[in-house]
Chain A
Amino acid sequence: MTASHQYCTFYLGDQCFGLDVLKVQEIVRYQPLTMVPLAHPMVRGLINLRGQIVTAIDLRVRLALPPRLESDEPVNVVLQTDDGAVSLMVDEIGDVMEVAEEHFERPPETLRGAAWDLIQGAYKLTDRLLVILDPELVVSLPAEQN
């Protein structure tokens, strides 16, 4: 029997992404945002999560993907980090998926481009790839990684 991991999955466009389920605190539907002027573009604003002020990061901006349509309401994936809860705004939420380690593969050398360093690897599912993101790096400003 091989080891398996559980991932919270979500979509940005057609691509399926996964984050370690233990790092995900909760999923919250779209919340009214308070804009933060002068902030990095990936910070969409602040939300009030039951009395806690949480920074909301647009994962599309973080991964340098094209912006989502105005009409689409993003969903908040709230992560637990050392610095408190941080929300990632994604297009659509998927299931919690249990995948076997044997299907995991590290990113190929050819993986380059924006934010490639956030990608830990991918699970080869039957019909698609589940791309696993680094939960710590994904919430940090791009400049902080250096």
Chain B
Amino acid sequence: MIKHRVILYQALIIVLLSQVLSSCSFCSRQDVDLSQELIVPDSVIQNSTPQVSKAITDQMMQNISSPVETAALIKGLKIPFNKNFLASTKQADWFNTNFEKAFALGLYGCDLGYLNMYEKTSFVVDYISVIKRLADDIQVGQFFDFSTLKRLATNNENLDSLILISQQSFNRIDTYLSETNRSMLSAVIVTGVWVEGAYLSSRVAQISNHPKIRETIGEQKVILNFLLALLKVYDNDPSMAKLITDFEPIKKLYDQVHITYELGEPEMIEENGVVTFKQTDKQVIEMDDELYNKLITNIQELRSNLLKL
């Protein structure tokens, strides 16, 4: 009887310890001294691809390309909505491997951002259905709040929540993939978002001469350098190596784009209790028309190639 009690007490202690350790989410963060690892951004805007550690790439994934910002920039130029810019949901069946599905997830995620921004809820259900299916296929469907999104879209209610929940779903997917050592798929999702965002911008560039869209195309050089730095972390994977190769032509073109900066001191303005810091740095992008047009064509070719069109 005493022996049984000792065994039970030992079991109790083990259970307690394992619970305490598993609930200590912060403990794992202390493994990485981020303050030492983050001094990299200067090199990122150079032509050479920066070396970035995996700890950093895991954190940067979500921020590299955002469907919300891209769509907002396009909408801000008063460019009308165009359904033809988007990838057809019928093409979702063409993606077979987890790698391809992750890419498609990012791509349709970007399209969802565009639809949400233009409040085209009638198309949203189609896209969230495809996204949910792709997310299920790569075992992250539980983080995509399909039922809430469907309700919001169907009832045309609270469109801000539609954007919020879409974004949060993708952030949770990213976090989960990172926690389960599948960060490579996160990188592929981000690639899908970037390719579709760049494609949307390129389509807009063909119908608008607005200098901002020209600048948006040009500054993709900065984002692309980040993206390639992330992808190269996983270049021992054959699918990733091929993806990086697919980016080579556009990388060579972007190497010809010159971006320079004039630094200034930020200005702080306080109005009605709201503090706004206004950056005064200037970004100057130099590229001739020929290069600009080549970039547009190349972005579209890259997307067609990756979409198997």
Do the two chains bind? no
B-contacting residues of A (Cβ < 8 Å)? none
A-contacting residues of B (Cβ < 8 Å)? none
